[in-house]
Amino acid sequence: MDKVVIFDTTLRDGEQAAGASLNINEKLEIARQLERLGVDVIEAGFPASSPGDFEAVELVSREIRNPIICGLSRAIASDIDKAAEALKSAKHPRIHVFVSSSDIHIMHQLKKSKEEVLEMAQNMVKRARGYVEDIEFSPMDASRSNPDYIYQMLEAVIDAGATTLNIPDTVGYSIPEEFGQLIAGIFKNVPNINKAKISVHCHNDLGLAVANSLSAVKNGARQIECTVNGIGERAGNAALEEIVMILKTRSDLFDVTTGINTEQIYKSSRLVSELTGFPVQPNKAVIGGNAFRHQSGIHQDGVMKMSRTYEIMDPRTIGLPGSSLVMGKSSGRHAFKERLSELGYNPADADIDRLFVAFKELADKKKEVTDRDIESLVAQEKREGIITESYKLDRLQVTCGDKGVPTAAVRLIRDDGSVIADAALGTGPVDAVYEAINRLVKVPNKLTEFTVKSITEGIDAIGEVLIRIESDGITYTGRGADTDIIVACAKAYLNALNKLLSA
């Protein structure tokens, strides 16, 4: 079978999702997981867009050795030079050059003639080829462009040295039949197309990103650009997990394969959700919380008799454990370590020691500790370890009720070991906690989003809080979890503040 190259752009297009914010260490952690997942190409960022993006591409290039590492660049000389510099440590570097090709973009955004844009594309691909041999080129907004102009542009950039031609449905405008015809037309009308691989990058504005990508594969495309959980600009991108599992499940129709280790899909999804602060909707295909849950009596009966009656995928193929083992305060360290391994986590011994202490503390509060609870503990450990904690919650006391004024007393530990404390009034218990923390930390910011959800079922469930704060136009995401929801709020706020201070 032919291989479809999986080009992951979670760290570039995925991070462009409104409200997403990843620091350099978080990007490296995701890149390492993408390498374990087996993606062929990691688009690590847009080096010319900011010093932070440049540093992230440089770090990923240095640390990740198996996949191709790609840097995005406009068809501008300084962008290409910057991308080449950021990629110089990469074992397999790729520069991805793009320029608009649709009339609406050329007229209103570039304000150039078609001839000028064509010359830009050709010259900048030549410039990029002077740095590396692996060059990808994208005619932006291709799905709304004149096909004849696309053919002309692609022929020119192949002659200039492009080795991969990416056809973007930039605004998610196309439908599958139409997009498939565009790909077929390229193979038919670009004379030197045999010298390059065809790729596609589809957006999900009409909910057709995955369908359009698969239509392109049917018509000869052999690279798909996608993101974990489908995150990205506006309504997002084609979802990696859906693309991969469709090609695997329906190999009878597509006769292609990928190099993805599907057992790493669930872990990759959870990690990206945790670090970006974007929860996965319960009914999300493949990795949603309800994807392998059955409530209908008829379905339950069928699954118990033979899982394939109502499950077209084995949940274990995406990394979900085959059973849900409930642990409690009598569970030992060995059983806890074994369960971590089954869930896809292999922390160092020192980390296991800390996690086991946290697990025992949680088990004292809850009768049963589920897999989701354990995942929450691991996520909390990562949150505390991945950034410099300038402040850590030590004590929290809240008084509230329908007749009194909500009051919070907070004690924090600074990174130098000193202890500070203060109290404040608020409109409610959470507001009082945030006011008390603000009096101690003294960092101007604006709270822009506040979300509370239950991780597991039951009255003793762990509550998870997600917040976003804004400072100097930059958004920082914080998450916290605890059986006490007010404590979870304080942890989430401190997590966001520590990210702000680290930045």
- 38-61 confidence digits (pLDDT tens): 999 999 999 999 999 999 999 999
Q: Is residue 16 part of a domain?
A: yes
How many Å apart are CA 1 and CA 57, to the nearest integer?
33
Check pLDDT > 90 for residue 155.
Answer: yes
Cα–Cα nearest to 94, from 52, 128, 51:
128
Domain extent for 364: 322-384
Check pLDDT > 70 for residue 274.
Answer: yes
Check pLDDT > 80 for residue 309.
Answer: yes
Q: Each residue of 200-224: pLDDT tens digit?
A: 999 999 999 999 999 999 999 999 9
How many Å apart are CA 473 and CA 185, to the nearest integer?
44
Sign of CA dihedral 131, 132, 137, 140: negative
Does residue 77 sit in the same domain as residue 120? yes
Check pLDDT > 70 for residue 197.
Answer: yes
Query: Which of 244, 276, 308 is the last residue in one of the domains?
Result: 276
Lowest mean pLDDT among 163-167, 297-301, 406-410: 297-301
Cα–Cα nearest to 234, from 210, 217, 209, 211:
209
Does residue 40 sit in the same domain as residue 132? yes
Does residue 367 sit in the same domain as residue 463? no
Identify the band that residue 441 occupies on the pLDDT scale cut at 50, 70 and 90.
Answer: very high
CATH number of the domain that 431 lies in? 3.30.160.270
Does residue 129 sit in the same domain as residue 207? yes
Q: Is residue 255 part of a domain?
A: yes
φ, ψ of residue 72 in degrees (nearest 5): -80, 150
Query: Which of 261, 276, 291 is the last residue in one of the domains?
Result: 276
Does residue 391 sit in the same domain as residue 409? yes
Average pLDDT in the 320-341 region? 73
* pLDDT of amino acid 332: 81
Query: Which of 333, 359, 384 is the last residue in one of the domains?
Result: 384
Tell me the two tokens of residue 503.
Answer: 């930045």
Q: Is residue 200 part of a domain?
A: yes
Which residues have CB under 8 Å from 13's CB, separation 6+? 43, 201, 225, 227, 232, 233, 237
Q: Is residue 294 part of a domain?
A: no
Summary mean pLDDT of the chain: 91
Q: Is residue 215 part of a domain?
A: yes
DSSP state for residue 316 in the 8-state scheme: G
Number of domains in the chain: 3
How many Å apart are CA 42 and CA 44, to the nearest integer?
6
Check pLDDT > 70 for residue 322.
Answer: no
CATH number of the domain that 89 lies in? 3.20.20.70
φ, ψ of residue 397 in degrees (nearest 5): -135, 125
Does residue 27 sit in the same domain as residue 150? yes
- Three-class DSSP category at 476: strand
Average pLDDT in the 470-484 region? 89
Q: Is residue 237 part of a domain?
A: yes
Does residue 330 sit in the same domain as residue 442? no
> From residue 280, how far is each of 107, 271, 320, 331, 402 by CA, in Å?
38, 11, 15, 30, 35
pTM: 0.83
More confident residue, 274 or 231: 231
* pLDDT of amino acid 435: 96
Does residue 232 sit in the same domain as residue 141? yes
Does residue 360 sit in the same domain as residue 495? no
φ, ψ of residue 359 in degrees (nearest 5): -60, -45
Alpha-carbon torsion angle 268, 270, 271, 273, nearest 10: 120
- What's the distance, CA 334 to chain centroid? 32
More confident residue, 362 or 90: 90
Q: Is residue 289 part of a domain?
A: no
* pLDDT of amino acid 492: 94
Q: Is residue 227 part of a domain?
A: yes
- Three-class DSSP category at 120: helix
Which residues have CB under 8 Å from 253's CB, separation 6+? none
Does residue 171 sit in the same domain as residue 62? yes
Q: Each residue of 393-434: pLDDT tens digit?
A: 999 999 998 888 999 999 999 999 999 999 999 999 999 999
Does residue 9 sit in the same domain as residue 83? yes
Check pLDDT > 80 for residue 136.
Answer: yes
Does residue 432 sit in the same domain as residue 368? no
